[in-house]
Structure 1
Amino acid sequence: MKKIIPAYVRVPLIFAIVMGALEYFIDSGDKPAFIKYPMVALFLGVFLFLLIAIEIVVDAVDKVTYSLLSDEQKKQLAEAQSVSFADSKLMKMLTRSKDIEQEADVMLDHDYDGIKELDNVLPPWWVGLFYACIVFAIVYLVRFHIVGDYTQEEEFIAEMEQKDKEVQEYLKTAPDLMTKDKVTLLTDAASLSEGENIFKTNCVACHRADAGGAIGPNLTDKYWILGGGIKNVFNTITEGGRSGKGMVPWKETLKPTEIQKVASYILSLQGSNPKDPKPSEGDEWIEEGAAPAADADATAVTDSTEVATVVVDSLKTE
């Protein structure tokens, strides 16, 4: 049977449309959806196979059907298929053009060196579009030039303000846009459990399973090389340690939320006192706003002075 679009064009076109729709609706980041998600690639493969199979089956059915037609039916089919789109009823309805045999009915008396002019009517679609443009122009004139509705500049500013608000709202809860300035300490059991799994998968080779330190420093004491606290630990894991001899950056391997969880888990190990810990490295970290720990020697001196004062007072009394 006659087909307007051949199969070798139809199949790639349909496949490309479906593939484009999947890429549009599936959020796959910076990678194509069929690469990031194997199931998408499997679906596309099955879909392409079905398209080709359908074309083969339809072509076979057409051949069988054609072979069952009589000579007269084949002749009628050939005549029907020989009609071009320009001569079809649809084209005539869209253009309202006259056949060549009817041109004498619309022929004007004008004659320019043998060139004659036809008085064909305008195509209906063109006339409808023309009237629609007139209606639109009247509405636009009344709304924006007579009534004085918003200008294009005001519309642009309003839309930009709305989009800025939406972006700010999104950034407040966007998990994978976590930064050093936004990170907070997690204390819930689920987050700490995930952080523990990340730590055991990636960090035990240098820090031991109990975080007591091996190649890397001890993470359970109050001394830190690059600063303690959730913000500094998050930044150290993200950007890496000291240049040339510190930890490698993990920002290309772990997501920001994963770094937040493992940093929170590490801080939860403070004071856990693992067996045979590595000697402390770096400087003692005191969290901002925390009261400094009282010095034991100063406390002892104070206590002894108070005792001596009590003894002197008692002797004076006696």
Structure 2
Amino acid sequence: MRNLIPSWVRVPVVFLIILGAVEFFIDSGSKPAFIEYPAVLLFLLLVLLILIAIEAIIAALENVMLHKLEGEAKARFLAEKENSFQFTWLKKTYNKLLGQKPIEKESEIILDHNYDGIKELDNDLPPWWIYAFYISIIFAAIYLARYHIFDGDNQIDEFEIELAEAKTAVEAYKKTAKNLVDINTVTLLSDASDLSAGKAVFESMCIACHMADGGGGIGPNLTDKHWILGGDIKSVFKTVSEGGRSGKGMIAWKSQLKPIEIAQVSSYVLSLQGTTPANPKAPEGDIWESETTETPTE
């Protein structure tokens, strides 16, 4: 009896031990296991309810045993229980929040009801329950004012804000991960560094067919407004990546160039629009009028 640990200490201690074991044995990465796996959270809640139920049963049995004891034995039991834990201030705070009468004073609040020897106590609602009830009323009033009177951001508004933030984050990520570009996400590059890199690729891979100034040779003139397979950035990107028309035209460069290099050389090709080559080849294809063919500036 002297080393008896009260239930308000046993329950959290045992629960924390179980929680620590769960976190130790379940690999959940950087997140706690009960957040990463909802089933773990349900398991822990079930364990907590079981621990509370066990403590409630133990407390009920102790109460029944206490009423069976004679005067001296009863006094000794109460004295030993009183001295079983030394943090008296914490125990007093706990009892105050619980709002229960001491066992020896239960005779003051016992009711006349008697069901097969089971008697009923006229305990008030626990203070913690009353405080929680008042807090819920205050919360409801604040919630009503914020969302139904002052038109605060609702779930749809918050979703749209988070979606906009996510799009911004994706765009910022793309700037540092340009090699993820593809036919669906490619945009016209205008940075001097990108155009310079595209020019290097062009001079290495393309001048044999299109000449150094883009005027055309075996391949078509890249400086006029006529295009065989389209003159916007997506069309040029696809042509460089996949090649020209089946059986003839330019080869596919996707196996030799990285996606960012294809985007850079495509942007450089479009930067040649409106320039004057030394020996321009006759126009081929159709005239392409599009805002995406605006010449990027170096």
The TM tier, using the shorter chain, reads: 0.3 to 0.5
Q: Which has the higher contact order (CA 8 A, sep 6+)?
A: 2
TM-score of the pair, normalised by structure 2: 0.42
What TM-score, normalized to structure 1? 0.40
